[in-house]
Structure 1
Amino acid sequence: MSGELTPPRAIRGFISFVALLRANGFAVAPEQTTAFLAAIELLGPRSLQHIRKAGLATLAPPPERHATYHRLFDLHFRGSEAIEPAEGEDEEIVRLQEEGRGEDEPPLAEEANESGLAAARAEALVERRFGRDTNIDALRRLSREAAARLPRRRGHRRRRARRGPFADLRRTLRDSVRNDGEVLRLGRLRRRPRPRRILLLIDVSGSMKARTEENMKLAHALSQAARNVEVFTFGTRLTRVTRSLRLKRREQALSAAAHLVSDWDGGTRIGDALQAFLAVPRFGSYARGAAVVVISDGLERGDPAALRDAVAKLSRRAWRVSWLTPLAMAGGFQPQTEALIAIRRFVDDLVGGGSSAAVVSHLLSLGSRRAA
């Protein structure tokens, strides 16, 4: 490591393995990375097992996560020869599938979906670049009105109020001292409202190609306007892009998300993606008591039963479930696709999502609605 901007090609695979560990929640210090490379050089490894043991000794994964470490190692260094997941393996296996490794990969599409008008089951892994804003007015409105109009919930902390269900004894005693022990007025307390979590699930498949860029820009504006927002993308994979969209500069945030998501404009398997979301306890907890907003046309190419079951579970956990589809822009919309018909009774709002202004209007209207 002679101070070069790019490391030698021979060690790039080892450095990328350390980066993969960090991406899946392993705490690896730079000094441990240096020790890992030094151990490999000292061992002169003749097999992958030598590299595996060097990583265990220098990168020091916690004992309870050894199974995940071995799975990551196999998926990184062995690729399609990776072993089957072991029992007791934790939630990162969903993350691994979105990294583009493992033998459970869906089939790749032979041709790119240029028009984005038809949903496909096959997967197309592409890189996406985002252009300049075209719906500035809608994004500005969201940033300006989000603090006052997004949904809120009652918190556990209390604040002073003229009327409330709780007595403020401390304040009452303090006032009585000033009035020679006379209690002239009983102070009251009420619960302090807190912002309700918003879970935004964005369809980035080929059938939503025309709206993907605007939806991602809207997700960034929402993440900047409200702190309690979680954003996921789905097509043939499930990707959490919350951290990327928390970057303040929009160009930087969207560029980070573009490199993180690998199934832009690909196939459509909404049910499998939502089932994977619910299968991870950490992800599933994001939906508990949240306002869940799904932006998708609902052109499912997988099993509609899997989609129906996933949306039913979401509806039991969430405060409200809203499904925004470009197909519902006209008045008197009635679902025609098999997937939308299957989930209709589990969603609270099935409204139009074909423009940024429509999505922003629905988000800002959630604050005046009640729980389902």
Structure 2
Amino acid sequence: MPEYAPLDLPEHPKLAGNIAHFARALRRAGVPIGPGRLIDAIEAVQAAGFTEKRDFYWTLHACFVSRPEHRAVFGQIFRLYWRDPRYLEHMMAAMLPAVRGVQEDRAAQAAEKRAAEALLDGATVSETEPDEDEQGTEIEIDASLTTSADEQLKSLDFEQMSTDEMARAKAMLARMTLPVDSIPSRRAALAHSGRIDRARSLRAAMRFGGEMRDLKWVQPKLRYPNLVVLCDISGSMSQYSRVVLHFLHSVANAKGAGWARVHAFTFGTRLTNITRHLGTRDVDAALRAAGAEAQDWEGGTRIGSCLEAFNRDWSRRVLGQGAVVLLITDGLDRGEADDLARQMQRLHLSARRLIWINPLLRWDEFAPKARGIAAMLPHVDSFRAGHSIASLEELAAVISRRDDVGERDRLIRMLSN
């Protein structure tokens, strides 16, 4: 923690209001803070005093931070909110490069953009340094979004979004869920109705001399499948893949969503397992680590060889128990179509459902003319678009429906003509 100058608060500080606003910014950035912690923080600051920023920092830190991954977010928002104008200017430039027109020398670290977004949503920055009189003024926040603006954003293509629209889209995706239905297993569990358990019923009758007093009932025990995601990160898919991985991070960290486990793999010229990185609660840190491990971002595409590596090395580990597979790619492959079809068939037979998400389907004139697309299409259960928030919402609504085929049948008919 660097040395801090004495804390410069307004002449008539509204201490409770300032701390409450600061707590709301932390909560928007993902730090779980309830009313109890806020009250404790206000009382702690009143008891400890706030003559120095260092003491003030660690007092609030003790009240608001309970997990290691929240320290970076707390530190960034603290510097932004408690009047560090130069750092504020840098973070606005990192968030809105189109407004600034230049990129700063230092790239934003994990949690910095999310901290700035949580605190500065709707704020603007001037091109000049703020005056000394303006440094103590409170930042105005306008987080209101009209319903019509939200609907327009949902239908907008990810590649056409501005920096601000992309930040809003990622925030919406973080709140989305991907629910799944349970699967009846062969194992049975005790129940009040269902099927008679003859063995338990007879054992219970033996306690009363063979008199059948109570019948024991069982029902199939419910279990939940794995979600396995194979995400194309080649040059033509890079923008879509980054957004989808944001969505998958929220799915992987959602409690009670139903999935037994979420496995994620990226592929371009090689296959990379990024499952462990999605377990990091900070989405910026998670995607940063995933991007560092996957060295083939925005490179070429070898779908067939990457699917072969998955089928050989990973399918038996992650595709058990009726897993659902999401294949996210445009299908533009450089390899042999016959090899690709053979690997797709093997993947299809190993999964309970194989759903292909293709952003090219956003075009009304889309046709399966490419050899890779024609080879893959017969071996999927459903073929859907994945270019916007609305298309991902449609996926969430039908992912558990065994009868959903999307655009598969229509495009297969085009192949046969």
TM range (shorter): 0.5 to 0.7
Q: 2:218 aligns with which of 159, 184, 189?
A: 189
Q: Does 1:303 align with 2:336?
A: yes
Show the counterpart of 2:300: 267
Q: Is the 8 A contact 2:398 2:404 kept in 1?
A: no
Which residue in 1 is equivalent to 2:40?
Answer: none
Name 1:366's counterpart in structure 2. 399
Indicate if the aligned counterparts of 1:151 and 1:195 stay in contact, CA closer than 8 A. yes
Secondary structure of the 2:399 match is helix
Corresponding position of 1:252 = 285
| Residue aligning to 1:201 | 230
Structure 1 residue 165 corresponds to structure 2 residue 175: no
State the shift of 1:192 in Å: 1.5
Hey, what does 1:341 align to over in structure 2?
Answer: 374
1:196 CA drift (Å): 0.7
CA distance in 1, matches of 2:216, 2:365: 51
Provide the C-alpha distance between the structure 2 equivalents of 1:198 and 1:310, rounded to a whole number of angstroms: 19
How many Å separate the matches in 2 of 1:255 and 1:155? 38
Residue 150 of structure 1, aligned match among 180, 201, 204: 180
Amino acid at match of 2:176: R
**Distance in 2 between residues matched to 1:313 and 1:284, nearest whole Å:** 12
Structure-1 residue corresponding to 2:77: none
Q: What's the RMSD between the two structures over aligned residues?
A: 3.1
Matched, 1:136 2:171: yes
CA contact (8 A) 1:204 1:265 kept: yes
One-letter identity of the residue aligned with 1:251: D
Q: Which amino acid aligns with 2:175?
A: R
Deviations 1:12-61 (CA, angstroms, capped at 9, x unpaired): xxxxxxxxxxxxxxxxxxxxxxxxxxxxxxxxxxxxxxxxxxxxxxxxxx
Distance apart, 1:258 and its partner CA: 1.7
Give the secondary structure class of the aligned counterpart of 1:206.
coil
Q: Supply the distance in 2 between the matched residues of 1:319 and 1:371 (Cα, whole angstroms).
A: 13
Asked which structure has the greater CA Rg, the reply is 2
For residues 86-125 of structure 1, what are the structure 2 equivalents within 5 Å? none
Give the Å deviation of 1:364: 4.3
Which 4+ runs in 1 deviate beyond 3 A?
127-133, 168-177, 179-185, 282-285, 330-334
Residue 360 of structure 1 and its aligned partner are, at CA, apart by 4.3
- Structure 2 residue runs of 5 or longer lacking an equivalent are 1-106, 115-166, 406-417
CA offsets, 1:71-108, max 9 Å, x none? xxxxxxxxxxxxxxxxxxxxxxxxxxxxxxxxxxxxxx
- Amino acid corresponding to residue 295 of structure 1 in structure 2: I
CA distance in 2, matches of 1:196, 1:141: 19
Q: CA deviation at 1:330?
A: 5.0
Q: Which amino acid aligns with 1:273?
A: C
Contact 2:225 2:260 in 1 (8 A): no
Instruction: Name which structure has the greater RCO, CA cutoff 8 Å, separation 6+.
Output: 1
Deviation at 1:343, TM superposition (A): 1.6
Gaps of at least 5 residues in structure 1 are 1-126
Q: Give the number of equivalent residue pairs.
A: 239
